[in-house]
Structure 1
Amino acid sequence: MNVQQPTAEIPVLIAGGGVVGLSAALFLLEQGIPVVLIEKHSGTSIHPRARGFDTRTMEIFRETGLSAPIREAGKALAPAWGIYRNSSLVKSISKRKANSKTSPVNMLGIQALLQMSPEFVARCTQDLSEPVLLEAVIKRGGTVMFHAELTKFTQDMNGVTAHILHRGTGEKTFIRSSWMIAADGAKSSIRESLKAKTTGRGSMGNLLNIYFEADLTDLVKGKEFSILNIRESWCRGMLCSINNSNKWVFHLHSADDDAHFSEEESKHRIVVLLRKAIGIPDLPIKIISILPWQPTEKVMVNMRHNRIFFAGDAAHVMTPYGGKGANTGVQDAHNLAWKLAMVIKGEASETLLDSYNQERQPIGKEVSARSADWADEYGLLSKGPMAIGPVVLTVLGAKLTATLGMHQLSTRLAMKHMGNLLGLPDYRYHSAAVLNGNTAKHGYDQALQLTGLPGTRLPHVWVQYQQNRLSTLDLVKSKWMLITGMQNGAWLRDVIETNKQKGLRIRLFSFGEQGELKPENASLQQAFGIKEDGAILIRPDGFVAWRSTGYSTELADVLGKLTGK
């Protein structure tokens, strides 16, 4: 790997080389910002951990060309859907028909949601996704230093000084950076060093993550599953699929009376328990690792501490239920990268960076709370009526209203409870980096439609552009963008002048049958809520910064307010 040790000050140091840290490095490199990433372990994760990416994360990876490689890396897990409950896997499998369709794409009532994005959720465990991200970072010129542990840091008005221990050699060095991103996980030493204030329910139970090998290929073929819940007097736990073949994880509620057993005795007891949970008494099982962990809800009140920004589990620890941990972290990094890049390049003032916490902290807090709501009294995934009731009612309501031709209501119903589960960005940002919004509003604001409202993600519309079929999201490419109607002569003139004044490179696209973007089945008003002489301004992260229903002379002033310059 690229292990040179920089001596001069660098723009951004990233502490933590998991999915979130690697994603932050990738997004900054896409913006042309050099980065150094340090990771205390010797390489990428050897544990599966996170098992997939939601729709919004896949949209972001699509932008960097990694959507297809991520899907390819996780293809073995792709058929694994469905949450079941029984006393053993054999009993659960015996009750199911082969090749039954359990993917969310087959759920009734959510067809409208599927049309809101060019992407969909993807299965891929963390031990397989991280190498894909690492390769992309290295190819783009990023510096990655494994076995490099952050032991101490200080910050001043101009930057951060990080003290590094190279664990392989014992050598100690330091790195000076203008900014640092803390992506060092749920037990973030950076967060703890700063004594950062947090909220949340804290630990919700004690579990053992048991990663093991057992060949169950023939048993589960055509009857793949995601999670099997077991709630018996002899066991409370969850069996999770990793590759639908020979690798699995069992999350076992850990009782206090296990403490007096030796490691070998504990392993033997666990193998016996796993065989019973699977339902095959003589099944050969190899334990790969046993890791204690605690499902936790813990959210930072402020994700920025002067020159240090927090992302992912370092900022908001959540249970794995709903699969939002890594996804929220990747989306944190994507939100932050373009803002840091503009400040570093001198295109924006540092006030733009205040919008990071304003926008992302409410999202982390909301999804952490939702995830914790799905945990039972032992910290395991609950599938009781109170947990799934709203989802069931939503699916039925969305299906009924769609059948009755009430399509807008159907979409809103589905978005309310299913949008977040599928990973659609069902929220609206309120900050100084969004105009026409409510900057006085604090907290999570759910968006039940994506129709061009400032603070929401750019609507996805299939268009023909330069003889290619693209999504409007494909045009963002981490840059500012203005979409107009056909009456856009004045807008074109304003863009040229604004780019000169602000030193930006805003791109303009005309939308219409005679425009650069020829829509397949949406009008300008339907897609973006603007008239033929209107425009919608898109930020480099694909969110709507400003909307003008008709022509306005305010473009330069708008950019000035958004960037603080």
Structure 2
Amino acid sequence: MNPKVEDRVPVLIVGGSLVGLSASLFLGRLGVPHVLVEKHADTSRHPRGRGNNVRTMELYRVAGAEERIRAAASVLADNHGILQARSLTGDDQEWLFREIDPGGGLAKFSPSAWCLCSQNDLEPELLRCARELGGDLRFSTELLSCDQDADGVSAVVKARDTGEHTTLRADYLIAADGPRSPVRERLGIGQTGPGDLFHNVSITFRAPELADAVGDRRFIACYLTDPEADGALLPVDNAEQWVFHAPWHPDRGETLEDFTDERCIDHIRRATGVPDMAVEITGKAPWHAAERVAERYSAGRIFLAGDSAHEMSPTGAFGSNTGIQDAHNLAWKLAAVLDGAASPALLDTYEDERRPVAEVTSARASARSAEHSHPGYDPAPAGGGRQRGVLTVALGYCYPRGAVLGADPDLPVVPERMRLTGEPGTRAPHLWLHADGTRRSTLDLYERSFVLLTGTEDGKAWRGAAEAAAAHWSVRLDHYRIGIGTDADLIPEDGTDWAEVHGTTAEGAVLVRPDGFVAWRADGRVADPEGALREVLGGLLRRA
């Protein structure tokens, strides 16, 4: 069969789950034409991957999707905490943690918050948003092969409903095709890490009586620890629909066929402590927890993102969030290169920045599974007590190396404490601002361009410098003067000192990347601001 040949597309995304759909959303927001192919006929129907951390919700906020996602997740809006119990009806119960954000302290760091939105609810919203932005998303379409040369990537795809083969020619390819990534295998990219950790079977079921046993305990998950019937219980609607993760031991010869409906029903009854409960099994899906990170995140014009780049234990929902943030990091860099604003060398910083984050985060996910005694996971004893600082992993990670200037190369990828104080390589601080009767966060400023923040005292000099430097490199650079008075573009709420929040002075400046990370900071007055910005932009965009 001779494949039909289509015109060239800037980006081809392989995989239409959370990471691939997020990549489509982010590229669409940046005006980058692309095609997404997904072998399955539709988005996920299984309620999994529900935890969306604050950084991910910030990204969806800026991309205009946050409100829609929260609406889709409204049924679980009041669910908080992880409960551990021998059964739901016994006295042996302990909250591993009661609130995701106790005391509301997260508000000082972010305009967003965590969101429980199951994958089967989140993916359709991402799909709708991506298509509204013009994304060409093709389900029931399978990648058969991909080859690259100096000028691009040629991919042969098959429409599974018609059997038609098509050759797509792309400038770049994003492989978001899962932990068994065929693209990664074709590239011969190996993986590091401990490997498989444990295996579970995710069982969806209907049991209206279970709500009475749960009562008013609106948990995210409940780890049930009866040695004869352990597992994890997750609510879908807090009323009738539930998910139960049952340990699976293929290393002992156990097969998926062994998980009959009768066995699953008996296990769920014993685990929950409701022996006569009516249970209707509605679905089963195996999953594997592992800790692996790809040795490389790219080969030529092909990039790995999400599970194809890293596998993590599900405890804490670090894996999907890290993958979504991979896609966001890569999207603005691809947009800058395709637009001619940056050299292709900028794309090398994707691995420099994201792979260290995955290494630290995957280890943290495994440690959290051990801390929570996740059903089916029996790791070797480790020294030390419980690790803390989940928020620093989710929000406080940084890029000591990459598309940043002036970052401390010895800065830990995940610090012991939150350091969102405007240091290069960290996510820019959140600050509420007002202009023309509108309230918005500094984070709302960052998406389609580099942004220069200054005060009003030297604002005119910095504005002229920004305009000249942007014109020199033919790049978009937005400038905002923050302060009080007629020269201010944005007024800080409650008189907050923007310079102090960003770790500079009234005469200084902070340059923020399109993804909201600080690229460079001037701590005070600069003798030649235009020359400084020209040099900085040239270095960041790898054009100097």
| SS of aligned partner of 1:135 | helix
1:359 aligns with one of 345, 353, 362? 353
Query: Residues 375 and 382 of structure 1 are in contact (CA less than 8 Å); yes or no, is this contact kept in structure 2?
Result: no
Q: Secondary structure, in 3 states, of the residue corresponding to 1:43?
A: coil
Corresponding residue for 2:392? 420
What's the secondary structure of 2:76's corresponding residue?
coil
Q: How does 1:546-561 map to 2 (within 5 A)?
A: 546-552=520-526, 553=528, 554-561=532-539
Residue of structure 2 in register with 1:404 after alignment = none
CA distance 1:189–1:115, change in 2 (3 Å): same
Task: Identify which of 135, 139, 151 aligns with 2:128.
Answer: 135
Q: Quick check: 1:189 aligned with 2:182? A: yes
Alpha-carbon distance change, 265 to 297 in structure 1, aligned in 2, over 3 angstroms: closer
Which stretches in structure 2 are left out of the alignment for 5+ residues?
Answer: none
AA partner of residue 37 (structure 2):
I
Amino acid at match of 1:102: R
Q: Which residue of 2 aligns with 1:399?
A: none
* 10-19 or 246-255, which deviates more: 246-255
Could you tell me how far apart the structure 2 residues matched to 1:255 and 1:346 are? 52
Give the match for residue 520 of structure 1: 493
Please give the alpha-carbon distance, in whole angstroms, between the structure 2 residues aligned to 1:184 and 1:315.
Answer: 10
Kindly provide the CA deviation profile for residues 242-294 of structure 1, in whole angstroms up to 9, marking residues without a partner as x: 22222222111124599688948722111111112222223222222222222
Question: Is the contact made by 1:464 and 1:520 (CA closer than 8 Å) also made in structure 2?
Answer: yes
Tell me, in whole angstroms, the C-alpha distance in 2 between the residues paired with 1:437 and 1:187.
35
- Alpha-carbon displacement from aligned partner over 1:46-102 (angstroms, at most 9, x marks no partner): 11120121011111110011111111111112222222222322336x9799xxx93
- 1:327 and 1:262 map into 2 onto residues whose CA distance is 28
Q: Is the 8 A contact 2:453 2:480 kept in 1?
A: yes
Shifted more, 203-212 versus 254-263: the winner is 254-263
What's the counterpart of residue 200 of structure 2?
Answer: 207
Q: Secondary structure at the match of 2:173?
A: strand
CA 1:304–1:263 in structure 2 vs 1: closer, same or farther (change >3 Å)?
Answer: closer
Aligned pairs for 1:40-189 (under 5 A) are 40-91=39-90, 102-106=98-102, 112-189=105-182
The 1:264/1:299 distance shift into structure 2, 3 A limit, reads closer
Counterpart contact for 2:397–2:413, Cα < 8 Å: yes
1:268 alignment partner, SS class: helix
Kindly state the Cα deviation for residue 382 of structure 1 after the two structures are TM-superposed.
Answer: 8.2
The match for 2:517 among 517, 523, 543 is: 543
Aligned to 1:413: none
Q: How far 1:430 sits from its partner (Å)?
A: 2.5
Output the CA distance in 2 between the equivalents of 1:201 and 1:466. Answer: 54
CA distance in 2 between counterparts of 1:245 and 1:153 reads 46
Residue 150 of structure 1 deviates from its aligned partner by 0.8
Residue type at the aligned position of 2:490: L
**Structure 1 unaligned regions, length at least 5:** 395-416
Distance in 1, matches of 2:112 and 2:168, equals 39
Query: Displacement, 1:298?
Result: 0.8
Deviation of the 1:432 alpha carbon: 4.2
TM-score norm. by structure 2 comes to 0.91
Aligned partner (choices 467, 471, 479) of residue 496 of structure 1: 467
Contact 2:87/2:272, CA 8 A, preserved across alignment: yes
Q: Counterpart of 1:531?
A: 505
Match of 2:413 in 1: 444
Q: By how many angstroms is 1:206 displaced?
A: 2.6
- Partners of 1:95 and 1:437 lie apart in 2 by 46
The question of 1:23 aligning with 2:44 is answered no
Query: Which whole-Å CA distance do the structure 2 matches of 1:373 and 1:318 have between them?
Result: 11
**Partners of 2:170 and 2:508 in 1: CA distance:** 42
Q: CA deviation at 1:227?
A: 1.9
**Preserved CA contact (<8 Å) 1:151 1:163:** yes
> 1:336 is paired with a residue of what secondary structure?
helix
What amino acid sits opposite 2:467 in the alignment? Answer: I
TM-fit CA distance, 1:10: 0.5
State the percentage of identical aligned residues.
38
Aligned residue identity for 1:551: R
For the residue of structure 2 that corresponds to 1:294, the secondary structure is strand
Name the SS for the 1:177 alignment partner. strand
> 1:466 aligned to 2:436?
yes
Structure 2: which amino acid aligns with 1:185?
G
Which of 335, 340, 346 lines up with 2:329 in the alignment? 335
Corresponding letter in the other structure for 1:242? V
